[in-house]
Amino acid sequence: MTFADALHACFSGFGSIFVWPEFGLLVAGVILGAMVGILPGLGGAATLAILLPFSVGLPPTQAFALLMGVAAVTATTGDLTSILVGIPGEAISAATMVDGHPMAVRGEGARAIGASLFSSLAGSIVGAVTLAATIPFALVAARSIGSPEFFMLSLLGIGFMASLSGSSTLKGLAIGGLGLMIATIGMDRVGAIPRFTFGQLFLWDGVGAIPVSLGLFAIPEIVHLVANQAAVSTDVATVRGRLRDGILDVRRLWPLVLQSSAIGTLLGLLPGVGAGVSQWVAYGHAARRGAEHHEFGQGAIEGVIAPSAANNATLGGSLVPALAFGIPGGLMSAMLISALIVKGLVPGPEMLTPEAQGGHLTLVFALVWLIVLANVIAVALACLSTGLLVRITRIRAARIVPFLLLLTFIGAFTERQVIADLLVTVVMGALGLALVRYGWPRAPLLLGVVLGPLAENRLFLSVDAYGSQWLLRPGVLLIAALMLAAFVLPRRAHRWKRQQDVPSPPRVAKSSSFNGEHVFILLLAALLGAAVVVAASYPPRAALAPRLVAVATLTLLFAAVASDRLKTGRSEPTVSLPFTTPSIVTMVWIPIFLVVLWGFGFVAGAPVVVLGYLLVTGRERPVRAVVLAVVTGVAVYGLLFRLLYVPFPPGAFYSFLTGYFV
Amino acid sequence: MKDPASDVDWSGASLFPRIGWGWIVALAFSVGCSNPRSQPSTVDIFRGRTLRIIVGTSAGGGYDLGARVLAAHFGRHIPGEPAIVVENMAGAGGMLAANFLARQAQADGLTIGFIGENAVIAQLTQQPGVQFDVRQFGAIGSPTGNEADVCVLSRASGFDIARWQASRVPLRMGVTSRGSGPYARTVLLSAALRLPVRLIVGYQGTAQIRLAIEGGEVDGLCTLLSTYRSTFEPKANFPIVLQDSDRPDPLLAAVPSAASLVTDASGQALLRVSARIRALTRYYVVPPATPTDRLQLLRTAFDETMRDPEFLRAAAAAQLDIDPLPAADITARAAAVFDLPEDVRGRVIGLLLERTAP
């Protein structure tokens, strides 16, 4: 492939999109993808699976215009839900919520949206350009990265837990350890040993990232919403002005945008890592970079820009191994590989060969342009509708809560279509409430859940394939040196800076009275102790990771408590979560939603439970409540069950009555 | 400004205070929306109904794609032309779906399952959690029942089958997970041919193993011929050194077949078990106790679909090999996997459960 070939393919690819019906299909895909992104849990990958059979009869460029329209924008609009209502629109949008939602709460939702949209656009452009530029070199890179390097990279990611921990590194690491512990639940692939599954088959595949993220972040946010507020925000600042502020933030912080996009693209290049990880690594990088500001977690604009750029850049990066070798970087690129194969296009060197020589280079460049154009269209649409979107934050809490709870449970179900994941969400919600109430960070737990399986899997593959020799591979040594530099240098700089600043205040012991936080810590310690005991019954290899992680987490937990007691009062800037009557009432409704949706099914149960909440707790006027419930029923049945084929199961009560359980 | 939330009575006492007309409307609505599975009384149960295909894997992979391509054409051949939807019920290597079909799905012909060898292996090795007997399902047919296994080694390793058999160093063979079909057949093939192997278990797909072969992390793998064809490029870098099939592929005439290399009865018995499992790689079933007339309607429709030119075109476009196996053959082979002499059965289970590492 010569430069002239590439240039020709680049222009041809661009031209191939601006014809009918290709462009129309792209816009249709973008609109569908934007909707799917906004609705929590309805994933882009599942939508692609539904669209795949419909694309079979279309020529390749038309099919990919539709599919890339969906794939490229779910992260962009998923960030909007994270910002506005504090529920991750997509699993890959959870990090945007950490700072984006506090901004919405204080009336800066439009500014956060502006920053998120334009950093998403920048990220997608960086990812797409990287895709175009690196495909020819991808084969060399892929061959040099084996399981040992993957393991080291996952360790590097786990190291970012410290960056996500606010000012209490020990607490963050302990909670990250808890996440790694949760990640050991499920079938051990090597030994075929079910770990911590307690006879439940749904746990064999582990605990899904979506139920964990919805439980940890959405449930506490919903409770927080009703605790002391009438709405997410009552700010009345002009949308246009705020949106422009966000765009200016992106321009001002362009080095961070580029760095985060680079992080997203690079992690996208690594199969199996994906945007679920890159968003947090970029967030951690932003937090580390701006360590002197203590706004992270409370509405720092950098905390919105970094993950938004990274999660969009990841798609472009993940398509490199997908197109060059057929190796999916994540679920979304796995779908796109399926689409290629359906079109009779085999990923490999032919994808890099000009059409004149029997290849598909123009199509590759068309994909690059589709990523960029899809995001341009999505950003334009979102900017035009920002005023409408921001109004969501001004709806009074009692009216919006039942819909947020319903969306949370629908989102939890749709990832794996397992009804038991609703229970996982509630359990994680309880954990999230405790973490927020006692000022413990939540992000490291999610990072542990995402990275744990990758780290364990790659460690055993490394040991099995190379023995102890894996430790001496150049790539391993290089990443180890990078890790050392990443963790030692900032600490030295921080220590030096502290020496320049005023001396630390004298340490005063905290009150020794036994409180709810102590109960919470003891409960965690008991669970970890029990895990050590249960793991003793597994074969040594299957037991290694859980026992090691449990003991390390217990140690960190007690170290965090000891350290906390030595400090002046509470060092962590805690999120206020008073358990007021409204919040307690809403907490009671959470299990009610669970039981009704499980018992009556989503189609029948959703309108019932929404109506119940609106009438009983929301004190809504009966006519309006009934109308809203009917609209809910129609949306769940018509839009989700019939149009999008979300396979809601019949309720357990109906199943029982109609003889399912024989 | 008055706080709109101040009108809300948040007291706990208002949680369940009244059963108003709103509740009655809601309950009536819920009853109206429910009862999706009442028992039909006529043979023509498919008209205007929706038939569900339960796939035991997540959306995306080969199983899912196969089911979705079939779903687009199957309905035309069923009397009443029902709508067909594909539902993914991934979990526990397909066991969740198999358990659902055996224990919960209504046996009315409107729910069918797409299951595979993992369920067979789980039952054979008596995995905890198995609540089904694959022999009780009513087989509809398999789109690909005549698969072949091939063992592929890295070209750089320079091994052929003779050198492999004579090697004193075990070759590292990449495998996805213990209990999977490729794992079982790699174990059985290597035991039958006395091939020295060290299984490196835990890769997340064949494409990842291919990359590991290229990087020198493993020496090769054993997989289905169809998977090899769709996943390995350029083929010259990944030569096939061994094949095992009931019907040798004419394009692999130069590749030694396992049957020709195994002369002892014990090895031949292992190869037979491997072949029976291979025939059950993916097939469609109905829940136990589905009325015979409905099962027969579905079998006929399936056989017609497998001959439908439109379906065959779509399958070819999706790079799906179609080489159907009729229901009677599936039923016979599913029974044969479990109908083994005690010593063979014991050896097979022992091999499949053997730990590769402490």
How confident is the model over B171-216, as pLDDT tens digits?
999 998 888 888 999 999 999 999 999 999 988 778 788 888 988 8
A556 CB neighbour count, 10 Å cutoff: 20
Cβ of A650 within 8 Å of Cβ of B72? The answer is: no
Sign of CA dihedral A518, A520, A521, A527: positive
- In Å, how far is A50's CA from the nearest CA of chain B? 9
pLDDT at B57: 77
Residue with the two structure tokens 């359906």: A342
Tell whether the model's pLDDT for residue B4 goes beyond 80. no
Contact A608 B29 (CB under 8 A): yes
What's the CA gap between A68 and B279, in Å, rounded?
A: 37
Neighbouring residues of A474: CB distance < 8 A, sequence distance ≥ 6: none
Give yes or no for residue B60 having a pLDDT over 70: no
- Structure tokens that stand for A500 in this block: 């320049």
Tokens of residue A417, six digits: 């279509």
Q: Closest Cα of chain B to A334: distance in Å? A: 7
Bridge partners (DSSP) of residue B52 are: B85, B111
**Residue B10 is encoded by which pair of tokens?**
């948040």
Other beta carbons within 10 Å of A451: 27
What whole-number percentage of chain A has pLDDT above 70? 80
Instruction: Express each pLDDT in A310-325 by its tens digit.
Output: 988 888 888 887 777 6
Nearest Cα to Cα of residue A144 among A476, A464, A466, A457? A476
How many whole angstroms separate alpha carbon A547 and alpha carbon A502? 43
Q: How far apart are CA B122 and CA B179, in angstroms?
A: 7
Q: With a cut of 50, say whether residue B3 has pLDDT above it.
A: no
Beta-carbon separation of B59 and A654 below 8 A:
no
By three-state DSSP, how is residue B162 classified? helix
Strand B149-153 relative to strand B220-224, pairing:
antiparallel
CB A369 within 8 A of CB A17: yes
Contact across the interface for B21 and A622, Cβ inside 8 Å: yes
CA–CA dist A278, A264 (Å, integer): 5
Tell me what pLDDT residue A40 has.
66
Residues of B in contact with A417 (CB under 8 A): 87-90
Which residue among B99, B319, B356 places its CB closest to the CB of A201?
B99
Least CB–CB distance from B10: residue in A348, A582, A607: A582
Q: Which of A228, A417, A469 to mutate to test binding with chain B, by most B CBs within 10 Å of its CB? A: A417
- What is the average pLDDT across B17-40? 47
**Residue from the list B7, B20, B88 with its beta carbon closest to the beta carbon of A417:** B88
Quick check: A616 and B14 CB within 8 A? Answer: yes
Q: Inter-chain contact A346–B3, Cβ cutoff 8 Å?
A: no
Query: What is the per-residue pLDDT for A644?
Result: 67
The single residue listed with the structure tokens 């899912």 is B64
Instruction: Note whether A373 and A26 are within 8 A (CB).
Output: yes
Q: What is the DSSP letter of A39?
A: S
Ranges A29-33, A504-508, A562-566, B155-159: which has the least confidence: A504-508
| Complex confidence, ipTM | 0.73
Asked if A77 and A385 count as a contact pair (C-beta separation under 8 A), the reply is no
Q: Which of A319, A354, A350 is nearest to A337 (CA)?
A: A319
Which residue intervals of A108-253 are DSSP H helices? 109-144, 147-159, 169-183, 209-213, 219-228, 239-252
- The band of A273, judged by pLDDT with boundaries at 50, 70 and 90, is low
A87-A90-A91-A97 Cα dihedral, nearest 10 degrees: -40
Q: How far is it, in rounded angstroms, from Cα A69 to Cα A27?
A: 7
pLDDT at A422: 93
- Asked if pLDDT for residue A499 goes beyond 60, the answer is no
**Rg, chain A, Cα only:** 25
**pLDDT over 50 (residue B247):** yes
Q: List, for residues A597-655, the tens digit of each pLDDT value.
A: 999 999 999 999 999 999 988 888 899 999 999 999 998 888 778 776 677 877 888 76
Contact B11 A581 (CB under 8 A): yes
* Pairing status of strand B197-201 against strand B171-175: parallel
Show residues of chain A in contact with B217, CB under 8 Å.
146-147, 461, 465-466
Residue A578 φ then ψ, to 5°: -70, 135
For A92, residues 6+ apart whose C-beta sits below 8 A from its C-beta are A75, A78, A274, A275, A276, A279, A311, A314
Which pair of tokens denotes residue A180? 């790694």
Whether the CB-CB separation of A541 and A460 falls below 8 Å is answered with yes
Query: In this structure, are residues B199 and B175 in contact, taking their beta carbons and an 8 Å threshold?
Result: yes
Ranked by mean pLDDT, which of A69-83, A250-264, A635-649, B23-37 comes out on top? A250-264
Look at residue A502 in the predicted model and tell me its pLDDT: 44
Query: What is the band of B303 on the pLDDT scale with cuts at 50, 70, 90?
Result: very high
Cβ atoms < 10 Å from Cβ of A421:
26
Q: Which helix (H) or strand (E) holds B41?
A: none
Distance CA A269, CA A316 (A): 8
pLDDT at residue A170 greater than cutoff 50: yes
Residue A166 C-alpha, separation from nearest chain B C-alpha, in angstroms? 33
Q: Which residue among A45, A144, A659 sits closest to B59, beta carbon to beta carbon?
A: A45
Residue of B nearest to A226 (CA): B5
How far is Cα B202 from Cα B71, in angstroms, rounded to an integer? Answer: 32
